[in-house]
Amino acid sequence: MEKIVITGMGTVNPIGLSVAESWQNVVNGVSGVGKITLFDTTGWNVDIACELKGFDPANYMDAKEARRRDRYEQMGVAAAKEAIEQSGLEITDANRARIGVVVSSAIGGMKSIQDAIYILKDEGPRRVSPFLIPMLMPNGASGLIGIDYGLKGPSFSVASACASGADGIGMAWMMLRAGIIDAAVTGGAEATICETGVGAFDRIGAMSRRNDDYAMTPAPFDKNRDGLVMGEGAGVLVLERENSAKARGATILAELAGYASTADAYHVTAPDSNGAGGAAAICAALETAGVNLDEVGYVNAHGTGTPLNDAAETKALKGAFGELAYKVPVSSTKSMTGHMMGATGALEAIFCTQIVREGILPPTIHYQTPDPECDLDYIPNQAREQKVEVAISNAFGFGGHNAVLVIRKWK
């Protein structure tokens, strides 16, 4: 089976507006948490989030066009621009039908929907924007990237909650392996830091409320963790079939060696506490990659910082790796970026690519008090230099969706 390789990466996220900036900050343990500025949180239970800082969509697209795009779409287009430029992929009439786009979103244009409801209620239906539908639809980022670059291969979005970005990358990987396309622009984008997003996630008890002590949250795997901190942003990869990439002289960054997806079939928001679904996804992904358990040198955990998720994921790792679980370094980069919902799996795939290239493992910051239920090596607070041949990235979502990507060092 022909290998699928990564030739380009791009991101905008709470700790960087490029891959280089994000990588420097994640290995240095820089937190993206701060007070919410996108709306007035007076009287709210939660007034912290991981917002993008200094993001100007006009740096990536025409300013008029940007106004017709939801914030999540702007982010997706920005990340795709960096990824395509790094890949050096030349798009021509001869190949554009062989390039697919799968940039996913769990929710789509939540802020656009929210604002339209206010307008509809206060001013009536004639004041609703004619651009509302393309701004709210979860496939909007994929469609706009395809339009901007004239990409005519398969184009769609996957919605599997917080596994959306990873599942989208997995779908692109499968199309490439099947020979349906030669290249794909794939990842995830999400922008849910608005009144509706923050209010709804707080109501289900998922959010950290450490507003006055936000320098120490989120705290994945820590005994005193109290919930996730919402993030926003996008991550995009360019994937290619090995022979196509080599034929055009592309710089290959890493191999996307495996992918698998499972379902807990347990609860619409809570993970199955035994971690069996996550363990099954890990084992299946490694099988597709032809990788043995003892070859895995790092796990980028889903690691949201919620009490249920972190305990269940620890059990999933033990279920998959057995005693080896205590020897495999694990960290949650969400401790710095926050939880970017449908985009999070894509950004974490980028970090795993950098890990196998650079041999540096990002830390889990805010880790202070060990939890007997979470007793693995979480790389607390300081990055670690360690060569890694194979890294895996876990993305587990509401609905019981479990997606795992396997990234292997390119030789």
Is position 401 annotated as part of the catalytic site?
no
Listed in sequence order, the residues at least 6 apart from 373 whose beta carbon sits closer than 8 Å to its beta carbon are 311, 314
Contacts of 354-357 spanning 24+ positions with Cβ under 8 A? 354/19, 354/23, 355/298, 355/300, 355/388, 355/391, 356/254, 356/388, 356/389, 356/390, 356/391, 356/407, 356/408, 356/409, 356/410, 357/253, 357/254, 357/409
User: In the annotation, is 267 catalytic?
Assistant: no
> Which of 50, 339, 374, 401 does the annotation list as catalytic?
339
Q: Which of 194, 267, 283, 302 is catalytic?
A: 302
Specify the amino acid at residue 22.
S
Tell me the backbone φ, ψ of residue 287, rounded to 5 degrees: -65, -40
Catalytic residue among 50, 162, 194, 374: 162
Instruction: For the chain, count helices (H), then strands (E).
Output: 13, 14
CA triple 214-331-220, angle to 5 deg: 35
Biggest distance spanned by C-alpha atoms of the chain: 63
302 labelled catalytic: yes
Question: Which helix (H) or strand (E) is 206 found in, with range?
Answer: none
CA distance 30 to 285: 30
Distance CA 134, CA 112 (A): 10
Which residues are catalytically annotated? Answer: 162, 302, 339
